[in-house]
A = this chain, B = another copy of it.
């Protein structure tokens, strides 16, 4: 069950000092029309925690994560991100969004802008950072994701793995305190998955608060503090990775694990 990809697994013992709440979700419900997608979600994420969310397709993982930066609106319950409650107040929403970075399955880079422009756009227009400074930050993060030489290319000229790393760098340029990942590797070819996961592991090592929807169980085992299993819009099980994989409690989880680890 160990995976050679993740030999740099983080030594968790050294970092278990989570004393500040980053995200607090309580009794949250969400409906699409009459369809109840998220049911009574309660979840507290502490600063520096790395959480992996797993679950079958359609179980509401993406929806949950998108509620956290209000790409979707929840209908009842409460979501507090970094001390700011998400209501319909635009100012709060803006504040939360500039604190929370998000990486999508399909990268969603802006194809008409160069990589550098992709990275500096939000800092310049939202954070009002001078252009020069924004570019310096951008180059710093590009080096971090190991593709500084691509700065002046357009997204279409990059491979999928490179694009996803740019997407991560783009989020980082806003200096977010929390990062959300929605299946960041599932649109990638197998060779490229590793380079993206490596980047994410590096981030994790630096203590970034992360919520990550993924099916890469190797990654979960290597970096997560906690694995959350969702089904039918509910959190069915949560546990530390070791117990989650080796000793799942609910039947639903067992079935799921047997499916995804089976092949």
Contact = CB atoms under 8 A, between A and B. Distances in A.
**Copies of this chain, tallied across the complex:** 2
A256 to B, nearest CB: 13
Contacts of A4: 263
A4 B262 CA distance: 10
Q: How many A residues touch the partner, as a band?
A: under 10
A194 B262 CA distance: 13
Nearest to A262: B4
Interface in A140-196: 190-191, 194
Contacts of A191: 263
Contacts of A263: 4-5, 190-191, 194
A4 B191 CA distance: 23
* Best-surrounded residue of A5, A191, A194 (most CB of chain B within 10 A): A191
Nearest to A194: B263
A60 to B, nearest CB: 20
A190 B190 CA distance: 12
A190 B5 CA distance: 20
Contacts of A190: 263
A5 B262 CA distance: 11
A58 B47 CA distance: 45
A152 to B, nearest CB: 22
Nearest to A260: B191
**Which are the 5 A-B pairs with shortest beta-carbon distances?**
A4-B263, A190-B263, A194-B263, A5-B263, A191-B263
5 contacts: A4-B263, A5-B263, A190-B263, A191-B263, A194-B263
